[in-house]
């Protein structure tokens, strides 16, 4: 007679398992699609009725996930969406992909994880696989989820299976997709890991098993901290090289010709998105329990958080050279999203720049082809994207390029702008000596 974990592995290997994905955002929705495309009957769960309604109608609400993909899966009946968590009782896997924001004092806020895990616990049953994908501090799966699930009387590794597998989504990345990005998997027990590996092996090209959930949790944080610290390093060097009148972009390009020992990172107006500005501080908080100070993380956060102010300072300098004050100036921002070619504005440096400009009494407008409406608790008013045309550019005292979307006409901006502040060097191919451009 096969053991319970071998039975679970066989169910995933034969694609007979029903999969539930909880949280249909930038990580959960592509994962849901991948399970459905691999042949699994898949249910996407979310508490947002608008997402459920759109998915049931075969529509997408995330720009880089085409509606044809959603429509095809819904029509095939391999994908459906629901807010009824009671359906988890019929699922062989429950995969949690919910936000993990920071609370007061940059402490981890696991409200979404805990509430979702409680919903799973109500319907936990023998043979079920539960995986947490939300980025969090090492120990969350063992210290938060495991005790919560075991109040059911079921034992992890014998009756049900619990693992951590970090999401690695990079929206709008044309080179890598959910299927082609290697998937790290760490189980609470060896049997838990084996079941999770079997589940993910059906939809990704490579699964990377590790010895524990804690290792998988720490690996995800290392990925994000690596980027955070290196971006801070290059941002700090940019500030220095500006004073030395050295082009940081040329320096990076030259250094990047070295075929070993160097990975290029690029400066910008600040960090955005859910991961890089937030996740490193989950480890900072956890480190305090071990009487340890994460100085690199703290310093990187300080440098990156200061970049929006630097952009405003460079804008002010540029206006001053033209005999203008920031107070009352018309400022047109190009880009509200946190990165190029996505519509996601979470933690976008554009929001902080707008705040700073409002404090200086500037008159701010923005253009973003992917963000028609900018509404956030950080801004006092709702802003709507302006059309980008010769008239709108000419009407501005300065144009600040915050997000380097590939669809923006930068030549038009250079032709008609009185002053351009470029935070990504995106105007370099089009710049002429007559153009008034300040790098920031």
- The residues assigned a catalytic role are 275
Which one, of 310, 392, 308, lies nearest residue 355 by Cα?
A: 308
Cα angle value 375/311/389 (rounded, 5°): 60
Cα angle value 46/51/54 (rounded, 5°): 140
Which one, of 80, 38, 21, 85, lies nearest residue 55 by Cα?
A: 80
Which one, of 41, 37, 57, 40, lies nearest residue 49 by Cα?
A: 57
In contact, 396 and 418? CB cutoff 8 Å? yes
Helix axes 280-288, 295-305, angle to 10 degrees: 140
Q: In whole angstroms, what separates CA 246 from the centre of its chain?
A: 32
In whole angstroms, what is the distance from residue 141 CA to residue 132 CA? 7
In contact, 63 and 342? CB cutoff 8 Å? yes
Buried b or exposed e, range 397-406, using 16+ CB within 10 angstroms: bbbbbbbbbe
**Cα-based distances in Å from 216 to 34, 403, 423:** 21, 32, 35
In contact, 15 and 40? CB cutoff 8 Å? yes
């Amino acid at each position: 007679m096969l053991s319970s974990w071998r039975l679970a592995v066989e169910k995933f290997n034969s694609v007979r398992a029903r999969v539930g994905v909880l949280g249909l955002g930038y990580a959960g929705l592509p994962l849901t699609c991948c399970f459905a495309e691999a042949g699994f009957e898949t249910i996407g769960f979310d508490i947002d009725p608008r997402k459920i309604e759109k998915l049931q109608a075969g529509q997408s609400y995330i720009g880089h996930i085409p509606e044809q993909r959603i429509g095809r899966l819904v029509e095939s009946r391999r994908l459906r969406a629901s807010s009824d968590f009671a359906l988890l009782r019929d699922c062989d896997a429950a995969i949690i992909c919910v936000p993990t924001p920071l609370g007061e004092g940059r402490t981890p806020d696991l409200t979404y994880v805990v509430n979702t895990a409680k919903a799973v616990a109500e319907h936990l049953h023998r043979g079920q696989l539960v995986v947490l994908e939300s980025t969090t501090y090492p120990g969350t799966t063992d210290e938060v989820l495991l005790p919560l699930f075991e109040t059911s009387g079921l034992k992890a590794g014998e009756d049900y299976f619990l693992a951590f597998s970090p999401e690695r989504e990079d929206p709008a990345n044309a080179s890598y997709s959910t299927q082609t990005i290697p998937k790290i998997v760490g189980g609470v027990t060896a049997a838990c890991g084996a079941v999770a590996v079997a589940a993910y092996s059906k939809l990704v090209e490579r699964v990377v098993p590790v010895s524990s959930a804690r290792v998988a949790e720490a690996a995800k944080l290392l990925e994000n901290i690596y980027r955070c610290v290196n971006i801070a390093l290059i941002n700090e060097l940019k500030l220095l090289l500006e004073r030395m009148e050295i082009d940081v972009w040329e320096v990076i390009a030259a250094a990047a010709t070295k075929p070993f020992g160097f990975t290029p990172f690029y400066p910008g107006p600040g960090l955005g998105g859910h991961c890089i500005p937030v996740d490193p501080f989950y480890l900072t908080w956890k480190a305090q329990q071990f009487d340890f100070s994460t100085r690199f993380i703290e310093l990187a956060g300080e440098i990156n958080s200061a970049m929006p102010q630097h952009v405003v300072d460079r804008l002010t300098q540029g206006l001053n050279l033209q005999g203008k004050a920031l107070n009352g100036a018309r400022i047109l921002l190009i880009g509200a999203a946190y990165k190029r070619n996505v519509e996601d504005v979470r933690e976008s440096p554009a929001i902080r720049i707008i705040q700073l400009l409002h404090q200086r009494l500037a008159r701010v407008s923005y253009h973003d082809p992917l963000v028609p409406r900018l509404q956030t608790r950080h801004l006092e008013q709702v802003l709507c994207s302006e059309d980008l045309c010769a008239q709108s550019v000419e009407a501005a005292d300065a144009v600040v390029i915050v997000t380097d979307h590939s669809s923006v006409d930068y030549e038009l901006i250079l032709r008609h702008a009185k002053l351009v502040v470029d935070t990504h060097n995106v105007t370099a191919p089009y710049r002429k000596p007559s153009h008034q451009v300040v790098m920031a």
